[in-house]
């Protein structure tokens, strides 16, 4: 592999420094969450998916260009065969300050200890309901008890920075807002509420199910003393601390509080597509460069640097639309 300068080089046309990548290693998942996937999904054949070695190569190149935070996503990344190898390979990479994971939690009971040893610093776990029947309805296939066991396994493995990710949907789970926060407080972990995004064709009208984080914050302020915080984990969440607890509550608000002006991230799909914005279609195909130049990173580096010229100013989410802003499912881009 070529030696790459560690000087940050990924600066877009708006002066934003990109130091964070979200890398999907599979579009497959053992859940079928209603806001993320259709009920009947067609997944990519193996030859159209990045190998784990190609994933590791991409991480090394991006870290060489100044990226200091890498989030491994899916689909569900832990259903990828031999996924642990990737975490072990990149976990001690010089210049990579944060290797983090987003998961549905179903595989953590078996893998949490090994992930900790591999160098994973933080884990985000999707949890949209504490009611087993409702959880099954939202995920279509998920079992709540497996996720709860996974949360406990992550705690026992020594992960200090565990965060729940919750998508509230009116008529589905918005009546659990307070109970989910109370659960996070009891478990001494954090929780973030993510406004539902108009990605992919789903079987409900998002304009009817949308819950604003402004409303969620007001509700929680009526139940808990919340203290505004300037803390950040390098992503778009804005945090409040719950008084007299170990818990932070984050709000990721692509509709009500657009965060694009501070965007510091890009996404890479399991097919090697470099998306410059979650809510736009601008992308660069990296897989051909990986495969046509297996021992030369220069064409790959050039494409990544040039991609900064087309990173858009922001997404264009509008709840008044009847069609999704982007046709691809969230699971395709990476959660």
Name the residue with tokens 């659990």.
Answer: 176
DSSP codes of every residue in 272-308: -EEES-TTS--EEE-HHHHHH-TT--HHHHHHHHHHT
Tell me if the domain spanning 20-333 has CATH number 3.20.20.70. Answer: yes
Alpha-carbon span 126 to 167, nearest angstrom: 8
How far does Cα 48 stand from its chain's mean position?
22
Alpha-carbon span 108 to 114, nearest angstrom: 10
Q: What is the pLDDT of residues 227-239, one digit of tens each?
A: 999 887 777 789 9
* Tokens read off for 198: 């108009």
Q: How many CA atoms lie less than 13 Å away from 135 in the CB half-sphere?
A: 19
Tell me the pLDDT band of 7, cut-offs 50, 70 and 90.
Answer: low
* Tokens read off for 197: 């995004």
108 with 151: CB under 8 angstroms? yes
Mean pLDDT, rounded, for 321-330: 50
Q: What is the pLDDT of residues 68-117, one digit of tens each?
A: 999 999 999 999 999 999 999 999 999 999 999 999 999 999 999 999 99
Q: What is the pLDDT of residues 54-70, one digit of tens each?
A: 999 999 999 999 999 99
Which sequence spans correspond to the domains of the chain? 20-333
Helices (H), the chain: 52-64, 83-90, 108-118, 132-139, 144-156, 177-187, 206-209, 213-221, 287-292, 298-307, 330-333
309 with 274: CB under 8 angstroms? no
Residue 43 burial by Cβ neighbours in a 10 Å radius (0-12, 13-18, 19+):
middle
Q: What is the pLDDT of residues 17-65, one digit of tens each?
A: 999 999 999 999 999 888 877 777 778 888 999 999 999 999 999 999 9
Bridge partners, residue 11, by sequence: 17
Mean pLDDT, rounded, for 166-178: 94
DSSP codes of every residue in 193-231: EE----BS--SS-HHHH---HHHHHHHHHTTS-EEE---
Handedness of CA 283, 287, 292, 296 (dihedral sign): positive
Alpha-carbon span 207 to 320, nearest angstrom: 7
CA distances from 146 to 110, 158, 210 (A): 10, 19, 27
Report DSSP state, residue 332: H
Tell me the pLDDT band of 318, cut-offs 50, 70 and 90.
Answer: low
């Amino acid at each position: 592999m070529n030696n790459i300068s560690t000087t940050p080089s990924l600066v877009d046309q708006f002066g934003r420094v990109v130091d964070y990548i979200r890398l999907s290693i599979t579009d497959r998942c053992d859940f079928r969450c209603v806001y993320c996937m259709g009920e009947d999904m067609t997944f990519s054949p193996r030859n159209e998916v990045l190998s784990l070695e190609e994933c590791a190569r991409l991480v090394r190149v991006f870290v060489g260009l100044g990226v200091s935070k890498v989030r491994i996503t899916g689909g569900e990344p832990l259903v990828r065969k031999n996924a642990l190898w990737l975490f072990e390979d990149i976990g001690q990479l010089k210049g990579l300050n944060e290797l983090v994971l987003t998961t549905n939690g179903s595989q953590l009971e078996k893998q949490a200890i090994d992930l900790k040893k591999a160098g994973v610093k933080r884990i985000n776990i999707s949890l949209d309901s504490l009611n087993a029947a409702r959880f099954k309805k939202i995920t279509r296939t998920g079992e709540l008890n497996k996720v709860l066991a996974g949360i406990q396994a992550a705690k026992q493995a020594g992960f200090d920075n565990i965060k729940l990710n919750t998508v509230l949907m009116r008529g589905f789970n918005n009546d659990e807002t307070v109970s989910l926060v109370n659960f996070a407080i009891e478990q001494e972990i954090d929780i973030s509420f993510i406004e539902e995004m108009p990605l992919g064709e789903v079987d409900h009208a998002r304009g009817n199910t949308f819950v604003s984080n402004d409303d969620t914050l007001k509700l929680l302020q009526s139940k808990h003393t919340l203290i505004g915080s300037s803390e950040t984990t390098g992503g778009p969440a804005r945090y409040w601390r719950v008084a007299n607890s170990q818990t932070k509550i984050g709000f990721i608000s692509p509709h009500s509080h657009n965060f694009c002006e501070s965007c510091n991230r890009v996404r890479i799909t399991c097919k090697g597509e470099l998306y410059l914005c979650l809510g736009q279609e601008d992308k660069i195909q990296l897989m051909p460069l990986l495969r046509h130049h297996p021992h030369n990173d220069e064409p790959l580096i050039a494409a990544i640097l040039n991609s900064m010229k087309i990173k858009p100013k922001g997404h264009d989410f509008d709840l008044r639309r009847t069609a999704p802003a982007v046709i691809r499912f969230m699971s395709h881009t990476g959660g």
